[in-house]
Structures are given as structure tokens and as C-alpha cells.
Structure 1
Amino acid sequence: MRPRRLFAIAFKETLQIWRDPRSLAIALLMPFMQMLLLGYGVSLDIRHVPLCVHDEARTQTSRELVERFVSSGWFSAVHTLDSERDVREAIDRGQCSGAVTIPVDFTRTLTTTGVAPVQTVFDATDTNTTNIATGYAQGVVAQITTAFAARWASDHGLRTSTVGTVDLESRVWYNEGLDSRNFIIPGVVAVILALVGAQLTSLTIAREWERGTMEQLISTPVTPLEVLVGKLMPYFAVGFVDAVFCLVGAVFWFHVPFRGSLLTLATTTALFTLVVLGIGYLVSVRIRSQLGASQVALLLTMLPTTMLSGYTFAIEQMPAPVRTVTYIVYARYYVAILRAVFLKGSTLAELAAPLAALTLYAFVIGWFSVRAFRKHLD
């Protein structure tokens, strides 16, 4: 490669980006909008689930039970209902996602036997929310059951037995607050880089065909490798700027803990950027229409990155055939790297496997891209 020819192509492509408002919009506005929308819009945490209360007992003990639900922060009592029919109608109308029913003899049964039934009902049309809310409700009931049992034993002059009990001490590493934002935001960075990088470079060669400048490019002495490197250089700089913006936003705006090395993060991000830029360039070489190339690039980046990279769905929970397919999804390795660097502080040595996969991907995509470009008009 000759530096003079290389930088001439890079300068020409930089002018194309500057003069094309669509490319500028993709490069500058899309990362900002996606970071805000995905960062705030995607969350696995559930807070203040609207809860209807059917309290037939209407005693201090039953009110204490309801207060425990509300004070947990997981539920908010939005309606107090008078009958089971009202509970069904409120859930059907979407006024609440669940209901807790306290029977009329709740307090009397609790004070005499120490055990009293309480019913919770949830709308299971949203199974994810229902499963999490049911677990929250069980946790609240377990806490108040312990308090009621100790109170009942004290009122009856009994000593609570500790024989045969197990004291569970649980600890959580890397994401101590179990905040889903710390799990999701690093994956958002991968989604943005994959989408923006491939979208930008998918227009490079297709633009030459549509504007009739391919003949001029072919007539020059540049080699296919020089065309590849020269055209990707400006987009690599733009993609790296977008990556820095997203990563800074993740740390300082969304307060995702960063425990790793900046060198590790920069190295892996540069490698992933090369992969997505190469995919977009390869699509642009094969498809001579900017619209068609853009759509194919969207298909090759958005769907695999969001569905098969582990960004939204745990790969371990996928069926075996789907798990096998995820090994060819390049974003899978970068998402794993981002979470390991941010939350675990992993080093390059500890990330050898995903780094090797990304490196292999970059070489394969680069080789196919160079082979795909031909200096003829057929």
C-alpha cells in the first residue's frame, strides 16, 4: 500500500461524509438518540407494581400487611376494593397488575393459630412481570410472616425454636445492587456501534455506483486493499468517537460501574469497530444500491445483535440449536467483553477467548472484502 494513494481515498471519503447530511445524521445523532431510548427504555427491574387491595378483615394487622407491600418499594396500592368481582374487573380493565385479598377472619386466625391465609392474584398476560412480581410478593410475605410468628410466640409466652433452622447468608458479586441497568447499558454500546458502523460503511461503494464515479475510481492505480483501508479510515475515526461518547455516557450519565482498564476497553472496541465496518463495506461491494445495501446491513446487524448476542436474552437459556448459531454472531463476544470489563474488571489475558474470536472475524471479513472488490464494471 502506498500512503499517498491511501490518504487520497480517505480524504475523498471524508468529504463525502461531510457533504452527505444522512451520513452525518447517522454518525452523530443516532448514537445519542439510541443511548437515551435504550438506556432509559429497556429495564428488567420492576418497581411500584400497581396493586389492588381487597381487605375484608379491616384490622390493624391487615393494614400492617398492606403497608409492608407498599413500603417494600415493589408495589403501590392504587385501589381499595370491596369484593372479588371488583378485583376481577379492576385487573381486566388494567387498573392494577395484581391484587392481594385478606380474608375476614385473618386477624382472629393469626392470633389463635399463628397461621393465616392471604391470596395474591396477578395478571399473567405479561409473564416476565408476573414472575418477578410473584417473587417480590413471596419475599414480602416471608418477611412479615417472620415478624408475625415472633410476635405470636411472644404473646403466648413461647420461645421461638431455632433447632433445625438454616441461616442463609447470600452475597452477590460484580452487580451488588442487582441493577439491570448495569447489565443492559454495556450491551447498548454494542448495539449502537454495530448499527451505526455497518449503516455508514454500507453506503461507501454503493454511493460510487449510484453517482457514476466508479469508473473514475477503477481507472486509478489504487489496489483493492487500498480502497478498503482508505474508505474505512474516516468511518473508523467516526465510529471510535461514537464509541467514546457511548462509553462515557454509560459511566457518567447512567453510572454503570467501570472496574476495568481503559487500554483493554480501547483495544476491544477498536477490534469490534473494524468488524462492523468490514461487514458494512462487504455489503456495499456486493449490493450497488444504497437503499438495498442499507437494508441488508440493518438485517445483518440489528437483529443478531439484539436477539442473539446475549444483550436481551441469556444465551444459556436458549435452545441448543440457537446457542450454536450464536457462536457466529460477532456481537456476542463484544457484549461479553463489555460486561466483563465494566463489572468484573477483566484484563486482556482473561478475555483471550472472545478476543481471539473477534480477531478471527476481523481477518475473515477483511479478506472477503478485499476479494469482493473488483476493478471492472461488470
Structure 2
Amino acid sequence: MSLRRLIAMAYKETLQIWRDPRSLAIALLMPMMQMALLGYGVSLDIRHVPLCVHDEERSQASRELVERFVASGWFSAVRLAGSERDVRAALDRRECSGVVTIPVDFSRTLARTGNATVQTVFDASDTNTTNIATGYAQGVIAQATADFGTRWAQAHGLQPQTFGAVDIESRVWYNEGLDSRNFIIPGVVAVILALVGAQLTSLTVAREWERGTMEQLISTPVKPLEVMFGKLAPYFAIGFANAAFCLLVTVYWFGVPFRGSVLTLLAITALFTLVVLGIGYLMSVRIRSQLGASQIALLLTMMPTTMLSGYTFAIEQMPKPVQAVTFLVYARYYVTMLRAVFLKGSPLADIGWPFAALALYAAVIVWLSVRAFRKHLD
């Protein structure tokens, strides 16, 4: 491989990028737009769930219970429902996601026994929100019931029952605030790199065919390996610059904690960038249309990265056959390593398995790309 020919090919591709406004727009504008949209738009946290209240008693105790729901930060009281018909209508019109019904004998039962029943109804058309909100509601009601029971026992001169109670001391590591942004934002970097990198390189060789310059390229003494690395070198620089931008935004704008090594982060990012660029280049070689190559590259990068990499959905919760398929998704390994480096501060030795898998992926993609390029017009 000649370094001189490789540099000449890289210089030629750099001029093509500079003269192509579409490539420049993809390279410069898309990362910023994607980072803003995905960074602010994707969240697994449940806050201020709209809640309707059907308070049949309207007593001090019932109002206190409603105030506890609002004070928790998980719910916001929207309106009072006057009847069960209003409850159903509010859920049907999506004015609220859940309804708390406090019975007419709530205070009387509470004063007599120290316990009472409260009904909660949630709209389960959104199962994720419903499951989380139900747990939150049970927690609020359990705490309120315990406080009411303690007060009732003290009012009757009784000792609150503590026999057999178990105190739970919970600690959370790596994401102490349970902030889903710390879990999601590192994966956004993988999505942006996969999308931008593959889209850019999917146009490289296909552009030569459509513009009629492939004959000139074939007539030169440049070798297939030199063509590939020469064409990918400018895009690697662009992709790495985009990655650096996204990672800086992740840490300094979104405030995701970074506990690992910068060198480890750069190493895994460089490897992942090589994989996505190689996939785009391979599609550009095999498909001689820029439109067709970009569409196939989009299909091979966007869908697997967003759905099967663990970026939004936990792989452990997927069906076993789908879990097996995820081992073929290169973004799975990068997302796993990103989260480990960011949140756990894992060194390269601790992420050896996904790093080796991604390195093998890169080697296979490079081998296929070199074999796919042939210096003939057939």
C-alpha cells in the first residue's frame, strides 16, 4: 500500500465533500439537531402524571391524601371528578392518566380502625407509564396509610405497632439520582455516529458511478485497499469530530457523569466509527446508486441501533430469539461500553468482551469492503 496514493485519494475525497453541500449539511448540522432532539425528547422518567380526583368525602383527611400525591412530584392534580361518569369521561378524553377515588366513609373508617381503602384507576393504553405510575401511587398511599395509622393509635392512647418491622436501607450505584438521562444520552452518541457516518460514506463510490468518474479511478494504479482507506479517511476525521462534539455536549451540557478514562473512550469511539464508515462504504460499493445505497445504509444502521442495541429497551427483557439477534448488532457493544465508561468508570480490561466483539466486527467489515471493490466496469 502506497502512502502517497492513499493521501492523494483522501485529498480527492475531501474536495468532493467540500463541493457537496448535502454531505456538509449531513456532517455538520445533523449531529447538532439529533443531539438536541434525542437529548431532550427521549426520557424514561415519569413526572407530573395528570391525575383526576374523585373525592366523595371532601374531608380534611381526604384533602391531605390528595396533597400528598401532588407533593410527591410524580403526580399533578388536574381536576375533581364529580361522579363515576366524570371519571370515565376524563380517562376517555385523556384529560388525566389516572383517577384516585376516595370513598365517602374514608375518614370514619380511618378513625374507627386506623385503615381505609382508596381506589386508583389508570389508563393502561400506555403500559409503561401505567406500570410506573401505579407503583408510585401505591407508595404514596402506603406512606399516607402508615402516617394515618400512627396518628390514630396515638389518639387512642395506643402504641403504634412496630413488631416485625424491617427497615430497608437502599443504595443505588453508578446512577445515584436514577436519572434516565444518564442512561439514555450516551446511547444517543451511538445513534448519531451510526446515522451520520453510514449516510456519508454510502455516497462515496456510488457518486463515482453516477458522475461517470469511475473509469478514471479504475485507470489509476491505486489499489482497492488504498481506495477504501483514502475515501474513508476524511469521513473518519469528520465522524470523530462529531463524536467529540456529542461527547462534550453529553458531559458539559446534559451533565451526564463521566468517570472513566478519556483514552478508553477515544479507543472505543474510533473502533465504532470505523465500523459504521465501513458499512456505508460497503453499501456504496455494492449498490451503484447514491439513493439506493443511502437507503440501505439507513436501514442497516438506524433501526438496529435504536431498537436492538439496548439504547432504549433493555436487551435482558427481550425474548430469547431477539436477544440472540442482538449479538449481530454492532451498536450493542458500543452502547454497552459507553455506559460502562461513563457511569462506572470501567477500564478497557473490564470491557474486553464487547471491545473484542466490535474489533472483530470491524475486521470483517474491512475485509468485505476490500473484496467488494473491483477495478472493472462490469
TM-score by length of 1: 0.99
Partner of 1:180: 180
Do residues 35 (structure 1) and 35 (structure 2) align? yes
Do residues 82 (structure 1) and 82 (structure 2) align? yes
1:326-347 CA distance string (max 9 Å, x none): 0010000000000000000000
SS of equivalent to 1:350: helix
SS of equivalent to 1:164: coil
| Structure 1 residue 143: Cα displacement | 1.2
| Structure 1 residue 217: Cα displacement | 0.4
Find the aligned partners of 1:156 and 1:34 in 2 and give their Cα distance.
Answer: 61
SS of equivalent to 1:360: helix
CA RMSD across the alignment: 0.6
Find the aligned partners of 1:258 and 1:300 in 2 and give their Cα distance.
Answer: 30
Partner of 2:219: 219
Aligned-partner residue type, residue 346 of structure 2: S
Instruction: Flag structure 2 segments of 5+ consecutive residues without an equivalent.
Output: none
Aligned-partner residue type, residue 258 of structure 2: F
Partner of 1:303: 303
Partner of 2:57: 57
| Structure 1 residue 61: Cα displacement | 0.6
SS of equivalent to 2:99: strand
| Structure 1 residue 140: Cα displacement | 0.6
- Residue identity over aligned pairs, in percent, reads 79
Do residues 375 (structure 1) and 375 (structure 2) align? yes
Aligned-partner residue type, residue 260 of structure 1: G
Aligned-partner residue type, residue 225 of structure 1: L
Do residues 312 (structure 1) and 289 (structure 2) align? no
Partner of 1:6: 6
Do residues 229 (structure 1) and 229 (structure 2) align? yes
Aligned-partner residue type, residue 345 of structure 1: G
Do residues 103 (structure 1) and 103 (structure 2) align? yes
SS of equivalent to 2:312: coil
| Structure 1 residue 167: Cα displacement | 1.1
Find the aligned partners of 1:56 and 1:2 in 2 and give their Cα distance.
Answer: 84
Partner of 1:274: 274
SS of equivalent to 1:40: helix
Find the aligned partners of 1:145 and 1:261 in 2 and give their Cα distance.
Answer: 48
Partner of 2:150: 150
1:290-331 CA distance string (max 9 Å, x none): 000000000000011011100111111111111111001000
Partner of 1:360: 360
Aligned-partner residue type, residue 329 of structure 2: V
Aligned-partner residue type, residue 213 of structure 1: T
Aligned-partner residue type, residue 88 of structure 1: R
Aligned-partner residue type, residue 165 of structure 2: T
| Structure 1 residue 170: Cα displacement | 1.2
Instruction: Flag structure 1 segments of 5+ consecutive residues without an equivalent.
Output: none
| Structure 1 residue 56: Cα displacement | 1.0
Find the aligned partners of 1:199 and 1:143 in 2 and give their Cα distance.
Answer: 53
SS of equivalent to 2:125: coil
1:10-36 CA distance string (max 9 Å, x none): 000001111101101110111111111
Do residues 340 (structure 1) and 313 (structure 2) align? no
Aligned-partner residue type, residue 318 of structure 1: M
Aligned-partner residue type, residue 29 of structure 2: L
TM-score by length of 2: 0.99
Find the aligned partners of 1:62 and 1:81 in 2 and give their Cα distance.
Answer: 14
1:346-378 CA distance string (max 9 Å, x none): 001111001100110111100110011000000
Find the aligned partners of 1:274 and 1:238 in 2 and give their Cα distance.
Answer: 12
| Structure 1 residue 149: Cα displacement | 1.3
Partner of 2:15: 15
SS of equivalent to 1:351: helix
1:119-156 CA distance string (max 9 Å, x none): 11111111111111101101111111111111111111
Partner of 1:91: 91
Aligned-partner residue type, residue 257 of structure 1: P
| Structure 1 residue 50: Cα displacement | 0.6
Aligned-partner residue type, residue 65 of structure 1: L
| Structure 1 residue 252: Cα displacement | 0.9
Find the aligned partners of 1:366 and 1:242 in 2 and give their Cα distance.
Answer: 22
| Structure 1 residue 164: Cα displacement | 1.3
| Structure 1 residue 162: Cα displacement | 2.0
Partner of 2:161: 161
1:232-271 CA distance string (max 9 Å, x none): 0000000000000110111111111111110000000000
| Structure 1 residue 281: Cα displacement | 0.4
Moved more, 287-296 or 82-91: 82-91
| Structure 1 residue 161: Cα displacement | 2.5
Find the aligned partners of 2:97 and 2:363 in 1 and give their Cα distance.
Answer: 51
SS of equivalent to 2:272: helix
Aligned-partner residue type, residue 186 of structure 2: P
Aligned-partner residue type, residue 48 of structure 1: H
Find the aligned partners of 2:185 and 2:145 in 1 and give their Cα distance.
Answer: 37
SS of equivalent to 1:111: helix
| Structure 1 residue 163: Cα displacement | 1.8
SS of equivalent to 1:86: helix
